[in-house]
Structure 1
């Protein structure tokens, strides 16, 4: 026994001299007993869901047997508190949306990475002069692929960085479509009479992105599917000004409030090109999105013109963001404004799209003149109607003539056959 005690003392002294004591005192975040082949639950576990993350923290945070309290742990710069749980539970749970608690989004060509920090700040002990543990910050990350569909699987968290992955397709899907007058469903017909309002819905499917706000940057109408063709008519311009609403005979406008931040409704009065007889029209629009926490600005807005008040009114945001619609040049307030999502990530193609509606068929109203009849004044019949009338008249005349001829032959010699028969009887 004496020899074993001496050997143990020598090994302990050697450990102190080589600094291994400092390593044994550092937190053991993932404990594994190789001899037993048993892996203990990690101190910090991260689960990345479709639109939120779940962080589970072992209350024996440092592996010393001293349990931390829920009030000593927060998540992110916003210091979000954990969800309420049983004080006797061995784990503390955080569950937040991906964009909450001040998390940061980083975009790479292949991934979306949401990052935040788990903070441990020990509370004062009974003596305000004493702290029995030090503050710790643990980086948390969730990474989502932007392309390709891969089977969903989690990656085991490690110390730097903690990461878990849920593989999904992350591309945005923009759409532009006709709607019924009550906006309840898509419109099946693309035919309109002049005077009808065209109800258009622009929307984007955001998937697992942070919430995004959709804007219609510009729209113009053409007679062919080529947006660069002439003639063309500008409906929306200057980064979201519905300029068609400035016409005294138009009620075109954006619909406020939005049904959702990723949806935008607007109405356009039906029209035809004055110098062209074609009635098929195409409407090409440029759509884009910004982060939902980015305030609307002169570059990101949806403004309608109020003819009665002679002013521009935004769907959301202060009215001065629409003042540039009157000037016809819209730029940012200042260089210090908050950058857009595309500027921060340097990838514009994922956040913008060019879409087209058409062909839309436009007809003049039923009670008005139809194209080609503008010079038919006074109700004079056109050639088709006139020929039909003459044909009917001629047919009636021929029928009447035939009837008169037949009638005259019948009554010219009404008793001739009877007379001849009587005379024969007399001869006999």
Structure 2
């Protein structure tokens, strides 16, 4: 059983590459080990020796490509090797699952072209299957591997800061989910929390959340899930039942359900979710700048707590700051308390990658 990511060059039963096994060129490349793959956290690095068939004749780098999308190399090693670096979800890579592993598969293609416009070639083409295996469950206590390729949650806890965190949870929110794999039609359960230690009681809010295809929250495409200081805008869609969970379990936790989705016309199957978490004084009444509003209860915007009118700005998509008097009071109180310990009252947290697969067949 694999406990860390591992690469494999060659055909595997059930992974859809058996048709290449009869190719003498493929057998030669596999035997000669002139193609190697290194499987990293979020990408694969494929190195191809230019003496691909160990005959002394070097192939042209431009005749090599990776994957159905024919991605090109990023480095030509001056007569020795050609290097490809691709993200796991790029270049048309195929994702398959077993009980224990995620398998990302692609293929190296060699398509010889004539030299100097001559009408002949001297080698056959070749297609070499390439696979990266990633264990679906990793022992996070092991010092041998840091499983950052699947950072299910992100949290920071030091003596100098509040400990904000964001977790994927199981269906009843009783524990952190042990897998990041979902199917279209599934519900993603997310819990935000903050550890306040022995300091003043604080009320946690999710100011915003955005989904992206990379860990960079500003990358494109991007899809807002929560916006306008706590409006769960994904729930406004007719095909969505996303909403904050009632009731709030405690002042330092906030939960919401999110219908699984993928980006339209994009073959990539993973997403990252980045949320802006913040706290207010627990005795401050929720307002338009500090709220948790869902749309699905009664087909209108409804707050998790507080007066109903604090959510009216969600429909207008314009939720400014609350009254300066009220805002100033809690800002002074919270800032004073947290300032004693050098703490911040907000933080951005990211979970991902979430692997979103096609809907389960009936």
For normalisation by structure 2, the TM-score amounts to: 0.53
Q: Cα deviation per residue 1:59-85 (whole Å; 9 max; x = unaligned)? A: xxxxxxxxxxxxxxxxxxxxxxxxxxx
Contact 1:256 1:315 in 2 (8 A): yes
* Rg larger in structure: 1
Helix, strand or coil: the match of 1:355?
A: strand
The equivalent of 1:289 in structure 2 is 279
Q: Which residue of 2 aligns with 1:357?
A: 351
Equivalent residue for 2:168, pick from 178, 191, 199: 178
CA distance in 2, matches of 1:363, 1:248: 22
Q: 1:331 Cα deviation (Å)?
A: 2.0
Per the TM alignment, residue 310 of structure 1 is displaced from its structure 2 partner at its CA by 2.9
Aligned length: 200
**Deviation at residue 367 of structure 1 after TM alignment:** 1.8
Q: Which residue of 2 aligns with 1:272?
A: 262
**4+ runs of 1 displaced by more than 4 Å?**
346-349
Report which of the two has the higher share of strand: 2
Counterpart for residue 187 of structure 1 = 177
Residues 294 and 338 of structure 1 are in contact (CA less than 8 Å); yes or no, is this contact kept in structure 2? no
Q: In 2, Cα distance between the equivalents of 1:254 and 1:230?
A: 26
Q: 1:249 to 1:274 in 2, by over 3 A?
A: same
Report the equivalent of 2:106: none
C-alpha root-mean-square deviation of aligned residues, in Å? 1.9
Matches within 5 A, 1:319-330: 319-330=308-319
Find the counterpart in structure 2 of residue 210 from structure 1. Answer: 200
Residue 215 of structure 2 is matched in structure 1 by: 225
Specify which structure has the bigger relative contact order, considering alpha-carbon pairs within 8 angstroms and separated by 6 or more residues.
2
Tell whether 2:231 aligns with 1:237.
no
The answer to whether the 8 A contact 2:166-2:193 is kept is yes
Please point out which of 320, 324, 336 is paired with 1:335: 324
Q: Distance in 2 between matches of 1:223 and 1:319?
A: 35
Q: 2:52 matched to which residue of 1?
A: none
Report SS of the residue matched to 1:326.
Answer: helix
Matches of 2:332 and 2:276, distance apart in 1: 18
When the two structures are superposed, what TM-score results if normalisation uses the length of structure 1?
0.45
> Residue 284 of structure 1 contacts residue 355 of structure 1 at CA under 8 Å; is this kept in 2?
yes
- 2:241 alignment counterpart: 251
Q: Which runs of 5+ in 2 are unaligned?
A: 1-157
Q: Which residue of 2 aligns with 1:299?
A: 289
Deviation at 1:302, TM superposition (A): 0.3
Q: Would you say the 8 A contact 1:176–1:357 is kept in 2? A: yes
Q: CA deviation at 1:171?
A: 2.6
> CA offsets per residue over residues 357-399 of structure 1, 9 Å max, x none?
100000112328xxxxxxxxxxxxxxxxxxxxxxxxxxxxxxx
Q: CA deviation at 1:333?
A: 4.5
